[in-house]
Structure 1
């Protein structure tokens, strides 16, 4: 090896070592340097804004990574609760069961959830907030009119919609899947809504000015008498939500 080649390699190695030792430049280090130099208020304000945006972006990336990791571990939610609409029965997942199932997995990745609610003119709104320990949070919301089906009083009607929207917003925020167990499949398989439920549904459609054909296409049925009993509540919530907007 020639002396010139050894010298070039030595110089390259020295530069690489210097680069490795060089401090990483971050918005915070720039701000610190500006303070040491006595920078004016305008410069400091810009650097503070840059620092806050940088921290926000880091928190967002941490949130997304934690959420992806948690979702990969969360199991399918079992539908353990039985509800009745007239003579029909169906199974659904309970909010407490969802909490027991997902709580440990979310906590392991620094995630938590909470709800905000509002009720005005019998319209219930639920906001589900998913937050991460690094500070980033995201939210989604749903609104629907109070559920007056059955013989509920005013408080029960609001409470029914409240818990339903909590489950729906939480499932949507986390991308949760729910699956019937064998009993649930047996209870709901093949059953359709009653004549009284059909009349109630058609009256509500007319009341809110809904498009019957659009709903038939949505539920993939040819007539409302073919609507599965387990989807009756979903239809009511959809129509009541529209009623709350008209």
Structure 2
């Protein structure tokens, strides 16, 4: 075969028709009006690097907004379930003043067992971030959506050394308490009282003590103004009830929760 014949003979690659080549794979349809779609259009139109970087920034902001909207939609759908957490744990002890405190509350596994599956079904999950500093324990509960948006809430308290607990038990007790309340706070859920067939608790105060009711009111506040209002109302109630032990617990809750609230400008 001559040199001329070799030059005129098409190679195998040359004989493959363009339509026989495999089509490029895609990662899914991209909306032409989305920042990613606009970036692709820009590349086809030979846009410069500065334009491309601005479009990348726009894409990231767009994704964050979409993730936040998805988070809000998921949390709204979760709250529509109106989950109530039953109070199963009975607390009953004698106060230093000779009175008796008795109330019920939910335990941490009650909260997680009820909320976990419902949150997961809506693309939500949570985690806790502990911190110990200056004699205070701070627990931050982070609620995340699968698209990346997250929000968090924090509560702080000193270790609970009541009832003869050792140092480790005191830390664990407070940590569990704060985990329970931060998860309820970030998801907007609450504990419901259990029906006692109208008999009431032995001390005649109902399923919850006065201190528990008002400490929960304190924890539910989101601003210092709300906390101040609860403090004023609570003082009157405890004074009328002559409940010194309950007021001491109430005052401690105000001090602890107030330290965790953001300062108002």
TM over 0.5: yes
2:205 to 190, 198, 218: 190
2:183 to 162, 166, 170: 170
TM-score by length of 1: 0.71
Is 1:70 aligned with 2:78? yes
1:194-215 CA distance string (max 9 Å, x none): 9xxxxxxxxxxxxxxxxxx984
Per-residue deviation, 1:228: 9.4
Is 1:79–1:184's contact at 8 Å kept on the other side of the alignment? no
Per-residue deviation, 1:235: 4.4
1:181–1:235 Cα change, 3 Å: farther
**Aligned length in residues:** 206
Is 2:154–2:260's contact at 8 Å kept on the other side of the alignment? no
- The aligned runs of 1:79-94 (5 Å cut-off) are 79-86=87-94, 87-94=100-107
Per-residue deviation, 1:95: 1.1
Aligned to 2:148: 135
Is 1:238 aligned with 2:246? no
Q: Pick 1 or 2: higher relative contact order, CA cutoff 8 A, min separation 6.
A: 1
Q: Could you tell me which runs of 5 or more consecutive residues in structure 2 were left unpaired when the two chains were aligned.
A: 1-30, 95-99, 212-228
Q: Could you tell me which runs of 5 or more consecutive residues in structure 1 were left unpaired when the two chains were aligned.
A: 1-22, 195-212
TM-score by length of 2: 0.67
More helix by share: 1
> Take 1:184 and 1:243, find their aligned partners in 2: how far apart are those partners?
40
1:48–1:227 Cα change, 3 Å: farther
1:152-205 CA distance string (max 9 Å, x none): 2221222221111111111111110211102498337427689xxxxxxxxxxx
1:235–1:83 Cα change, 3 Å: farther
1:28 to 27, 33, 36: 36
> Take 2:191 and 2:210, find their aligned partners in 1: how far apart are those partners?
22
> Take 1:167 and 1:53, find their aligned partners in 2: how far apart are those partners?
33
Higher-Rg structure is 2
Calculate the aligned-residue CA RMSD, in Å.
3.3
